Amino acid sequence: MTISRRDFLKTTAIALGITTLPSWAYSADLNSENLPVFDNANLGDAAMSLAKKLGAEYADIRINKYRIESIRTREQQVQNVAKGQNYGFGVRVLYKGTWGFAASPLVNGKEVERVVREAFEIAKANSIFNDKPIKLVDAPKAVGKWKMPMKKDPFDVPINEKTDFLLKINEAALATKGVAFVNSSMSWVNEQKYLATTDGTRVEQYLVRGVPSFSVTAVDRAKGDFATRNSLAQGKGIGWEYTTEYDWLGEAKQAGEEAAMKLSAKSIKPGKYDLILHPSHLFLTIHESVGHSTELDRALLWEANYAGTSFLTPDKTNKLQFGSKIVNFYADRNQEGGLATTAWDDEGVAAQQWDIVRNGKFVGWQTTRDLAPLIGDKTSRGCLYGDNWSSVSFPRMPNLSLEPAEKDVSTDELISDVKNGIMIHGRGSYSIDQQRYNFQFGGQTFWEIKNGKVTGMLKDVAYQSRTTDFWNACDGLGGKSTYELPGTFRDGKGQPGQINAVSHGCPPARFRKINVLNTAS
């Protein structure tokens, strides 16, 4: 299906516009494909020279540019196209162990000088009240440029090609009898980042993230009932090739069929079940129970927003049996396709991989240069990130993944050893307590397993557990061929709130005797 510009405007009540951004982010002679060019090197050098002259122990400047684009459709109509750009710089200054921060959208030499002085004065004023000075671990000087690997930059793709892609998804879903509604969308983000520090670091990065998605609704008009099935594929750090390398049309057709099946699915009987959790579902359980609980700032009570602190504490390192012996979690800022993949973090620490849980034992934290000394570490794990040039960078989650089994175990092999169980696909509703310990998760589709065979669809399913009980109940993992890398675009943290994008790779995993609820009762 193709659509001309004339038909596009005629058949859709579209508001072609830009996303809501501050008025200063725009200029009459600029658009999202034509961002301004700044003299980053000279601005960075001048900022760092002044910071040292003023007496800063450490300072950095981030000069960042952003492009965003989103499209929404419904059935045969394009509902909205939004494009925008945003740019500016932020300066951090450390003086007498106290941080100061200031930022501006006016990227020029005079404004850089003003902002450096403002950040310094803030740090100086706050230092009077600071009885616990910040200390930074050393970081090697980094110099270089990095561009995220991709085959085709999505910002080079015409809008018509993007709307055509989404309308074809809708068409595939609507082909199923009983499907009445379908929404599809895509969002793309481009970050162009320059960092200079008083340690001599000078790095530039170009990152792209994308997330196509859809939701299909089937209706039984005779019964007055409806059911939905959302897309299982998640966001990735990838270019336009994501639209061809994943079978979006096949999944849209499948989603239509499964939405219709939900209308007659059997409601679950509460009780203890073995669970087989597909990567499209398990990634979110990993994110909430493992990702957030191993953020060191939460464990130290530095951070308590967006659902609290952590049940983990530094004294549990290398002691707590977090999961069964087959459970191995690792953080990886280099992982290809990861939403949190980068070359350097926001203070110039190189991307790296490290263990979080090894053979079931909790062994590692997510750290930054000011967190690492608090647990005796000599180096940072490179987890500093700010979601905008105007945001204060603070610890954010890296890609954090579950290793597959050494043997290439198939999903069918995992299922074959289940007498009474449920297989769950997709992310659904969820809740977790203030310490990331007690939780409840739903999903998109639920499949009954009897005597090693999938026997049909279920509905109204949610499971409950505690983090360590749950991961210690894991007794089976899929192999490398079953491994996938889903992620979330909107990981909220902080106050004022910031958004991080992060991925959690995993194979399907089997968990024994987990408590399952009926959400309709």
Q: What pLDDT digit, counting tens, does each position of 279-338 carry?
A: 999 999 999 999 999 999 999 999 998 779 999 999 999 999 999 999 999 999 999 999
What was the pLDDT predicted at 10?
Answer: 35
CA 344 and chain centroid, separation: 17
What was the pLDDT predicted at 2?
Answer: 39
Is residue 477 within 8 Å of 402, Cβ to Cβ?
yes
What was the pLDDT predicted at 31?
Answer: 40
Torsion of CA 29, 35, 37, 42, to 10 degrees: 120
Is residue 461 within 8 Å of 516, Cβ to Cβ?
yes
What was the pLDDT predicted at 17?
Answer: 32
Q: Which long-range contacts (CB under 8 A, 24 or more apart) does 492-496 make?
A: 492/306, 493/303, 493/305, 493/306, 493/394, 493/396, 494/303, 494/305, 494/306, 494/394, 495/305, 496/391
Q: Which of 203, 227, 200, 198 is nearest to 215 (CA)?
A: 227
What was the pLDDT predicted at 268?
Answer: 98
From CA 129, how far away is CA 440, in angstroms rounded? 42
From CA 298, how far away is CA 278, in angstroms rounded? 28
Is beta strand 58-74 parallel, antiparallel or unpaired with respect to 98-104?
unpaired
Cross-strand partners of 492: 499
Give the torsion sign (CA, 156, 159, 161, 162).
positive
More confident residue, 113 or 32: 113
Q: Which of 289, 270, 324 is nearest to 515 (CA)?
A: 270
> Minimum mean pLDDT among 3-7, 311-315, 510-514: which range?
3-7
From CA 315, how far away is CA 278, in angstroms rounded? 33
From CA 101, how far away is CA 127, in angstroms rounded? 13
What was the pLDDT predicted at 33?
Answer: 60
Q: Which tens digits make up the pLDDT trace of 202-231?
A: 999 999 999 999 999 999 999 999 999 999
From CA 256, how far away is CA 289, in angstroms rounded? 31
Q: Which of 77, 263, 110 is nearest to 177 (CA)?
A: 263
From CA 362, how far away is CA 316, in angstroms rounded? 7
What was the pLDDT predicted at 137?
Answer: 98
Q: Which tens digits make up the pLDDT trace of 222-256?
A: 999 999 999 999 999 999 999 999 999 999 999 99
Q: Is 308 left (phi over 0), alpha (psi -120 to 50) or beta?
A: left
pLDDT exceeds cutoff 70 at 15: no
From CA 358, how far away is CA 227, in angstroms rounded? 41
Diameter over CA atoms, the chain: 77
Block residue for tokens 């992620």: 487
Is residue 92 within 8 Å of 65, Cβ to Cβ?
no
Task: Write down the domain spans for the chain.
Answer: 5-262, 266-518
From CA 131, how far away is CA 59, in angstroms rounded? 20
Q: Is residue 125 classed as helix, strand or coil in its secondary structure?
A: helix
What was the pLDDT predicted at 34?
Answer: 78
What was the pLDDT predicted at 12?
Answer: 31
Element spanning 161, H or E: helix 159-174
Q: What is the average pLDDT score of the chain?
A: 93
Is beta strand 461-466 parallel, antiparallel or unpaired with respect to 438-441?
antiparallel
Within a 10 A sphere around the Cβ of 12, how many other Cβ atoms? 19
CATH 3.30.2290.10, applies to 5-262: yes
Q: Is residue 255 classed as helix, strand or coil in its secondary structure?
A: helix
Is beta strand 329-332 parallel, antiparallel or unpaired with respect to 353-358?
antiparallel
Q: Which tens digits make up the pLDDT trace of 121-163?
A: 999 999 999 999 999 999 999 999 999 999 999 999 999 999 9
What 3 state SS string does 225-243 have?
EEEEEECCCCCECCCCCHH
Q: How far is CA 261 from CA 119, 217, 219, 251, 270, in A?
A: 59, 11, 11, 15, 21
What was the pLDDT predicted at 307?
Answer: 76
Cross-strand partners of 143: 202
438-464 average pLDDT score: 98
Block residue for tokens 């090609």: 161
Q: Is residue 295 classed as helix, strand or coil in its secondary structure?
A: strand
Q: Which tens digits make up the pLDDT trace of 334-386?
A: 999 999 999 999 999 999 999 999 999 999 999 999 999 999 999 999 999 99
How many residues are given for the chain? 521
Q: What percent of the chain has pLDDT over 70?
A: 94
First-to-last alpha carbon distance for the chain, in angstroms, is 44
Block residue for tokens 């007496």: 55
